[in-house]
C-alpha cells in the first residue's frame, strides 16, 4: 500500500509538471495569434449603422477585458491565478468567468466521449476476441474486415455521412442542441429521451471511430496469448473452455488499458471536428468559437481542461495497470 501511494504521488507530481508545461506552451501559442477580439464586433457594429468612432468606443467597453500588461506580466499573472484555480474572465463573454463558461459546455463533451469510448471498447474488445478465436471462419474474417474499414475512415467523413443519412436524408435523428429546448430539464422520460436522441449521432461517431482500433488490437493480443506457454500448460491440466477464455481475455486485454487512456485524449481532441459537424455545443465547439473570437482566456481554459483530462486519464491508466498486472509493480 505504501508503495502504491508513493507511485501515485510521483505520477500526480509528474502530471502537475506536465500540465504547467502545457499551460505555458499554450499561453504563448495562443497569444501569438494575429487579430483581436474586437475586430469582428467593430465590423458588425459598423454594418448595423454605427459610426466608426462610436463602434470603436463601444468595442473598447464591451471587449475591454483584454489585459494591457506586457506578455510576461500576463503570463505570471495567469499562472498565479491558475494556482489558485482561477481561469480568468472571458473577453468575448464580456467578463463572465471562464470556469463558468467551460462548466456549461464540458458535460456535453465528457458524456458523449465517455459513452462513445465505453461502447466502442466493449463492442470492439468482444468482437476482437471473436475475430481471433474464429479467425479461420467467415465471421472472423468479416469482423476483421469491419475493423480494418472503420479504423481507416477519417472522423469528418464518418460524421458527415451519419449527419447526411440520419438527419438530412431520413430525418430520424436531430442535431444542433443537447435536447429539445421546449422540454423541462429533469428526471423525466421526455427530457431523458430527448437528451439521448440528440447525443446519438456524436456518440455513434465516437464509438464507430474507435471500434476498429479496439477490434484489431484485441484480435492481435488474443492471437498472441493463444500461443503462450501458460495457455498450453492450462489446457494440458484440463481446464474448461470458459476458464481458458477467461485466462486469454484477462491477459490479452492488459495492453489495451494504456490505449484506452490515450484514446480518451484523442477523442477529446477529435470532439472539435465532430461537435462542429453536428453543431453539438460542447467543449470542442467552444474551443473553435473562442479561437474565432480571439478570446485568449477562454482558449487557454479549454486547452487546459483537455490537457488535464488527458493527463488524468494517463495517471488512471498507469495506476490501474499496476493494480491489474502485478508484474508492473516490480
Partner 1 sequence: MKLVRRAALPLGAALLLCGAGACSTPAGGSSAAGQVFTTIDGNNPITAGAPMNPFNASGNSFLGYDQMQLGFSKKNPADPNDFFPGLAKSWTADDTGLTVELQPGAKWSDGTPVTPEDVKTSMAIALTQGSATVGAGVLTQGLDVADVKAVGPHTVRLEQVAGAHNIHFPRLVLTQKIVPRSVYGPLLPADVWDTVHASQNPDKGAAKAAQAAVDKLNAVGQKVSAFAPAKDVSAGPFVITRVNPGSAVLDRNPHFYAADKIAPKQVVIRHYTGNEQIWGYLTNGELDAAPYTSMPTNVLNRILKAGNKRVDSVSYVDAAIAFNQSVAPYDKLAVRQALAHVIDREAVTKVAEPVGGTASKTTTGLIQPMVEKWLTPDQQGKLDPYAHDPAKAEQLLKGAGFRKGGDGKWLLPDGKPWTITLQTVNGFSDWISAATVIANELSSFGIPTKPALTADFSTYKKEIAEGKYAVGFWLTALGPQTDAAFQRLYGADDGYTAVGTKVTHSTGKGSGNWQNTATSFTVDGATVDPGALTAKLSTLEPDAQKPIVQQLAAATNQQLPVIQIWDYTNVQFVSGKRFAKFPQQGDNALLANPPGVWMMQGYVQSAK
Looking only at residues 46 through 75 of this chain, which bind partner 1 when binding is defined by CB under 8 A?
46-54, 56-65
User: Among 43, 137, 145, 230, which residue sits at the site for partner 1 (rule: CB under 8 A)?
Assistant: 43
Give CA separation, 127 vs 34, 119, 121, 181, 205, in Å: 48, 12, 10, 38, 18
Q: Does 110 bind partner 1 (CB under 8 A)?
A: yes
Crossing angle of the two packed helices 155-163 and 241-278, in degrees rounded to 10? 70
Q: Using alpha carbons, select from 264, 266, 275, 260 the residue that is nearest to residue 201.
A: 275
Name the one range near partner 1 by CB under 8 A: 11-19, 144-152, 165-173, 209-217.
Answer: 165-173
Tell the smallest beta-carbon distance from residue 227 to partner 1 (Å). 37
User: Among 181, 240, 242, 327, which residue sits at the site for partner 1 (rule: CB under 8 A)?
Assistant: 181
The single residue listed with the C-alpha cell 489495451 is 256
Q: Toward partner 1, which CB reaches closer, 35 or 269?
A: 35
C-alpha cell at 83: 494556482
**Are 92 and 37 spatial neighbours (Cβ–Cβ below 8 Å)?**
yes
DSSP secondary-structure letter at 165?
Answer: I
Distance CA 127, CA 220 (A): 12
Q: Does 106 bind partner 1 (CB under 8 A)?
A: yes
Q: Does 285 bind partner 1 (CB under 8 A)?
A: yes
Q: Toward partner 1, which CB reaches closer, 24 or 86?
A: 86
* 3 state DSSP class of 97: strand
Distance CA 272, CA 275 (A): 6
Q: Toward partner 1, which CB reaches closer, 180 or 325?
A: 180
C-alpha cell at 191: 427530457
Distance CA 4, CA 265 (A): 25
Q: Does 168 bind partner 1 (CB under 8 A)?
A: yes
Of 302-321, binders to partner 1 (CB under 8 A) are none
Crossing angle of the two packed helices 71-83 and 2-31, in degrees rounded to 10? 150
Q: Does 193 bind partner 1 (CB under 8 A)?
A: yes
Of 261-280, binders to partner 1 (CB under 8 A) are 276, 279-280
Site mask for partner 1 (CB under 8 A), range 113-142, x = bound? --x---------------------------
User: Among 100, 246, 250, 329, which residue sits at the site for partner 1 (rule: CB under 8 A)?
Assistant: 100
User: Among 82, 113, 143, 286, which residue sits at the site for partner 1 (rule: CB under 8 A)?
Assistant: 286
Tell the smallest beta-carbon distance from residue 86 to partner 1 (Å). 15
Tell the smallest beta-carbon distance from residue 64 to partner 1 (Å). 5
C-alpha cell at 270: 477529435
The single residue listed with the C-alpha cell 468575448 is 92
Q: Toward partner 1, which CB reaches closer, 53 or 229?
A: 53
Q: Does 3 bind partner 1 (CB under 8 A)?
A: no
Name the one range near partner 1 by CB under 8 A: 4-12, 21-29, 177-185, 223-231.
Answer: 177-185
Q: Toward partner 1, which CB reaches closer, 12 or 119?
A: 119
**Are 278 and 159 spatial neighbours (Cβ–Cβ below 8 Å)?**
yes
Q: Toward partner 1, which CB reaches closer, 108 or 303?
A: 108
Tell the smallest beta-carbon distance from residue 272 to partner 1 (Å). 12
Give CA separation, 87 vs 83, 97, 152, 253, 302, in Å: 9, 7, 38, 39, 10
Tell the smallest beta-carbon distance from residue 111 to partner 1 (Å). 5
Number of amino acids touching partner 1 (CB under 8 A): 86
Distance CA 264, CA 262 (A): 5
Rg (CA), the chain: 24
Amino acid at each position: 500500500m505504501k508503495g502504491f501511494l508513493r507511485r501515485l504521488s510521483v505520477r500526480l507530481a509528474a502530471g502537475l509538471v506536465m500540465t504547467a508545461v502545457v499551460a505555458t506552451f499554450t499561453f504563448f501559442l495562443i497569444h501569438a495569434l494575429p487579430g483581436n477580439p474586437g475586430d469582428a464586433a467593430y465590423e458588425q457594429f459598423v454594418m448595423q449603422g454605427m459610426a466608426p468612432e462610436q463602434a470603436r468606443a463601444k468595442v473598447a467597453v464591451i471587449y475591454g477585458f483584454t489585459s494591457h500588461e506586457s506578455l510576461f506580466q500576463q503570463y505570471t499573472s495567469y499562472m498565479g491565478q491558475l494556482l489558485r484555480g482561477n481561469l480568468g474572465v472571458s473577453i468575448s463573454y464580456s467578463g463572465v468567468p471562464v470556469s463558468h463558461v467551460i462548466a456549461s459546455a464540458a458535460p456535453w463533451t465528457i458524456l458523449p466521449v465517455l459513452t462513445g469510448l465505453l461502447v466502442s471498447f466493449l463492442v470492439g474488445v468482444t468482437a476482437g476476441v471473436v475475430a481471433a478465436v474464429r479467425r479461420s471462419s467467415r465471421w472472423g474474417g468479416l469482423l476483421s474486415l469491419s475493423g480494418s474499414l472503420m479504423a481507416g475512415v477519417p472522423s469528418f467523413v464518418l460524421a458527415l455521412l451519419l449527419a447526411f443519412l440520419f438527419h438530412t436524408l431520413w430525418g430520424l435523428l436531430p442535431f444542433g442542441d443537447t435536447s429539445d429546448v421546449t422540454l423541462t430539464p429533469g428526471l423525466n422520460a421526455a427530457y431523458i429521451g430527448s437528451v439521448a436522441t440528440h447525443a446519438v449521432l456524436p456518440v455513434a461517431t465516437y464509438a464507430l471511430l474507435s471500434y476498429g482500433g479496439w477490434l484489431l488490437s484485441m484480435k492481435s493480443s488474443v492471437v498472441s496469448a493463444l500461443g503462450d506457454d501458460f495457455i498450453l500448460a492450462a489446457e494440458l491440466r484440463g481446464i474448461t473452455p470458459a476458464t481458458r477464455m477467461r485466462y486469454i481475455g484477462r491477459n490479452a486485454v492488459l495492453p489495451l488499458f494504456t490505449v484506452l487512456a490515450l484514446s480518451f485524449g484523442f477523442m477529446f481532441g477529435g470532439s472539435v471536428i465532430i461537435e462542429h459537424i453536428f453543431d453539438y455545443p460542447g467543449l470542442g465547439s467552444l474551443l473553435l468559437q473562442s479561437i474565432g473570437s480571439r478570446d485568449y482566456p477562454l482558449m487557454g481554459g479549454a486547452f487546459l481542461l483537455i490537457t488535464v483530462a488527458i493527463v488524468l486519464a494517463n495517471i488512471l491508466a498507469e495506476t490501474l495497470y499496476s493494480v491489474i498486472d502485478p508484474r508492473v509493480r516490480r
